[in-house]
Chains A and B, each alone.
Chain A
Amino acid sequence: MMLRDLIVAHMNRIASEQRLSLAPLTDDLVLLDSGLDSLGFAILAARLEDELGVDPFAEGEEIKVPVTLRDFVQTYENARR
């Protein structure tokens, strides 16, 4: 599965678990306008780390905070390289 699809699938699952409705997940979507809150993204990061074995936000690394969905996907793509 493409990384973006995996991330979107996890976002949809978290939204349905928490009974939240998501905005259409376009690349330019601002993450905090997606419908997931901080806790939602925290859960997303934990599950992605579990599945991909990478945590791009691990302490000590200089990380640009992702603003849009594109940034978020890019952060994980960079971390997997």
Chain B
Amino acid sequence: MHDDKGLSLRGFLADGEGLGEQYLCGVRDRVRLAELVSGTMLAGRLAELGGRSVFLKTKDHFSAALALVELDGVAKRIVLYPPCLTPEHLPQLFSNAEVDAVVHEEGEDVAAALAVPLRIAYSPLSPSAAPVPSHRYATEWLLLTSGTTGVPKIVVHTLASLTDPIKIRRRNDPTVVWGTFYDIRRYGGLQIYLRALRGRTSLVLSGASEPTSAFLERLRQHAVTHLSGTPSHWRRVLMMPANELPTLRYLRLSGEIADQALLDSLRRTYPHAQLAHAYASTEAGVVFAVEDRLEGFPASFLNGVGKGVAMKIEDATLRVRSRRTASKYAGSKEPLLDADGFVDTGDVVQRRGERYYFMGRRGGIVNVGGLKVHPEEVESVINRHPDVRMSLVRARKNPFTGAVVVADVLLRDQRDAGNRGKDVEREILDICRGVLPEYKVPALIRFVSSLDVAESGKLVRPNA
């Protein structure tokens, strides 16, 4: 059943000549791309995973980067476990993704309490003794993204949809070294990982708790030429006293709105690097990259931007149709595509002259350093406090993470705001910290005397 035309990670690396000194570099270890083709972490147990829905839980994204090469084409589905996933959501997640196998680090099975037919602990990469099972499946790649209720939504991609935006001019180019601030288990980072494998170039990955200064030092050591991250990652780089990257040729931002002040600062700091800000989301895939160093995007993009990518604006939000979009949400009836095959990105845009500008997100969704926060999820946690009548969670802009979450809280007895406001605030924050990751916890709580409720009975939410 081996299909030569089918895409696979091994296929990217196996065919043709020229694999030599290209490396995948983690904080401590580095692995030659050529070793990935023949290496194994599952030591002969790979065949057991054939056709299964595999939940891949690695200690870091470097290990995930190695394991994915082995699993792709063998598993029916791979569910990527991102950082800051709350374990309490695992049962629902396993059910929605129909997980029937877990691949995990030795002694670190987060899902130990769940009934799963097959569990395999992986080992460090070693040369394979067993024959490699043939590539049989167009494996589905399942990425998690934040959902309204707190349970992550599972976005279904294939290697074809994920790699469609990747155009490689020259494979095996020894002068190209990619780096990324992203975790490769999220869409933005996965793009860079796949780009490095597709183009067969070196890639430097960040460590989970690695300080920015140490990562920059490693990027310099490896002479990184192409580097991607969110605007928040790049703002952090600008805050470093030693942020020079002398070999940098291409600098890419995505995942958040790139404002003009940031683009200008980056241009001054890295005058020799080409600067691009890309528009992409887990559901819509990569839509376009803007390379004129200006915020927003040219209105002409609406007439066509890249092969097979169509955009339109409806109700002031951007809709996208392309081969790069995900196909559906796993385990949910919620449609991902409309009747015409468009993804509603929820990003509000406004035209001024010959350009469109991003204005924030419909529904008040807050983007904290590239991570989406649904206000409803945070509000439901705040409302658990017995003195709270209702609350409104919204974004407040800031230069470090683009936005933070702030909450307007209406108390049952408004006199409490004055009397014991500080105590209630602390109690609300304690409740939030107990169940929410830090980026979802309000930076600021304000007690208000009223909240606007529309005729529909819903809270009136500002856009941005």
Name A residues whose Cβ lies closer than 8 Å to a Cβ of B: 17-18, 30-33, 38-39, 41-43, 45-47, 49-50, 55, 57-63, 65-68
Contact flag A39-B369 (CB < 8 Å), given A31-B239, A33-B213:
yes
27 A-B pairs with C-beta separation under 8 A: A18-B438, A30-B240, A31-B239, A32-B236, A33-B211, A33-B213, A38-B232, A38-B235, A38-B236, A38-B400, A38-B401, A39-B368, A42-B369, A42-B400, A42-B404, A46-B396, A46-B404, A46-B406, A47-B443, A47-B444, A49-B396, A58-B397, A62-B264, A63-B399, A65-B239, A67-B240, A67-B241
Number of A-B pairs whose CB atoms are under 8 Å?
A: 76
Contact flag A57-B439 (CB < 8 Å), given A39-B369, A46-B406, A65-B265:
no
B261 within 8 A of A: yes
Q: Tell me the nearest residue of chain A to B262, going by C-beta.
A: A65
In the complex, chain B residues whose CB is within 8 Å of the CB of A50 = 444, 446
Contact flag A57-B399 (CB < 8 Å), given A32-B239, A43-B404:
yes
In the complex, chain A residues whose CB is within 8 Å of the CB of B399 = 45, 57, 63, 65
Our pick among A39, A41, A49, A59 for the contact of B261 (Cβ within 8 Å) is: A59
In the complex, chain A residues whose CB is within 8 Å of the CB of B444 = 43, 46-47, 50
Q: Could you tell me if A65 and B259 are in contact, using CB atoms closer than 8 angstroms?
A: no
Q: Could you tell me if B235 and A32 are in contact, using CB atoms closer than 8 angstroms?
A: no
Q: Tell me the nearest residue of chain A to B406, going by C-beta.
A: A46
B429 within 8 A of A: yes
Name B residues whose Cβ lies closer than 8 Å to a Cβ of A: 211-213, 232, 235-236, 238-241, 259, 261, 264-265, 368-369, 396-401, 403-404, 406, 429, 433, 438-439, 443-444, 446
Given contacts A47-B443, A47-B444, 19 further A-B contacts (CB under 8 A): A17-B429, A17-B433, A18-B438, A38-B235, A38-B369, A38-B401, A39-B368, A42-B398, A42-B400, A42-B404, A43-B443, A46-B396, A46-B444, A50-B444, A57-B398, A60-B261, A63-B261, A67-B239, A67-B241
Q: Could you tell me if A32 and B213 are in contact, using CB atoms closer than 8 angstroms?
A: yes
In the complex, chain A residues whose CB is within 8 Å of the CB of B446 = 50
Q: Could you tell me if A45 and B398 are in contact, using CB atoms closer than 8 angstroms?
A: yes
In the complex, chain A residues whose CB is within 8 Å of the CB of B429 = 17
Q: Could you tell me if A32 and B398 are in contact, using CB atoms closer than 8 angstroms?
A: no
B457 to chain A, nearest CB (A): 30
Query: What is the bound-complex CA distance between A58 and B259, given in angstroms?
Result: 11
Our pick among B211, B259, B401 for the contact of A32 (Cβ within 8 Å) is: B211
Q: Could you tell me if A62 and B261 are in contact, using CB atoms closer than 8 angstroms?
A: yes
In the complex, chain A residues whose CB is within 8 Å of the CB of B398 = 42, 45-46, 55, 57
Q: Could you tell me if A41 and B259 are in contact, using CB atoms closer than 8 angstroms?
A: no
Query: What is the bound-complex CA distance between A55 and B404, given in angstroms?
Result: 14
Q: Could you tell me if B240 and A39 are in contact, using CB atoms closer than 8 angstroms?
A: no
Query: What is the bound-complex CA distance between A58 and B397, given in angstroms?
Result: 8
Query: What is the bound-complex CA distance between A45 and B239, given in angstroms?
Result: 15
Query: What is the bound-complex CA distance between A68 and B242, given in angstroms?
Result: 12
